[in-house]
Amino acid sequence: MLDELENRINENSSKLDQLRDEIEKNFNRINENKEKIEHNSGALALLHTIKSNGDKYFVMWIITFMAFLFSIGYIVYLKNEYTQVETNTEEIQQENESGNNNYIGRDGDING
């Protein structure tokens, strides 16, 4: 019975040694990763900033794009509005001193 207990104790102690080694390896990996993270902290901070501001930049882009489309539409509207020239000229009858009537036509010529 004692031999069996000693065997179990030895097995458990070897398992404990293995666990200690694994824990030590994990701590070393953690420290290495921590150093890498600290080394890249500037880049990571920039990435976090870009990620947090990404939605704001997208909304700003949409607003700018809509303003661009509105301005193009307004320019097209103004072009169509001011290219349609209405002529409100009338024919005018004018009597001169000799009694003859002169007509000023739509083309601007005086017909006598």
- The per-residue pLDDT for range 14-54, each reduced to its tens digit, is 888 899 999 999 988 988 888 777 666 777 778 888 888 88
Residue 99 scores a pLDDT above 80: no
Q: Which residues contact 95 (CB under 8 A, 6 or more apart)?
A: 101, 102
Structural domain includes residue 87: no
Residue closest to 43 by CA, chosen among 54, 51, 31: 51
**Each residue of 68-84: pLDDT tens digit?**
999 999 999 988 887 76
In a domain, 75, yes or no: no
Q: Is 32 inside any structural domain?
A: yes
Q: Which two tokens stand for residue 64?
A: 């700018």
Whole-angstrom Cα distance, residue 18 to residue 83? Answer: 89
DSSP 1: -
Tell me, yes or no, if the pTM score tops 0.75.
no
On whether residue 61 sits in a domain, the answer given is no
Number of domain units in the chain? 1
Query: Do residues 102 and 112 touch, judged by C-beta distance below 8 A?
Result: yes
Q: In which band, very low, low, confident or very high, does the pLDDT at 106 lie, cut at 50, 70 and 90?
A: low
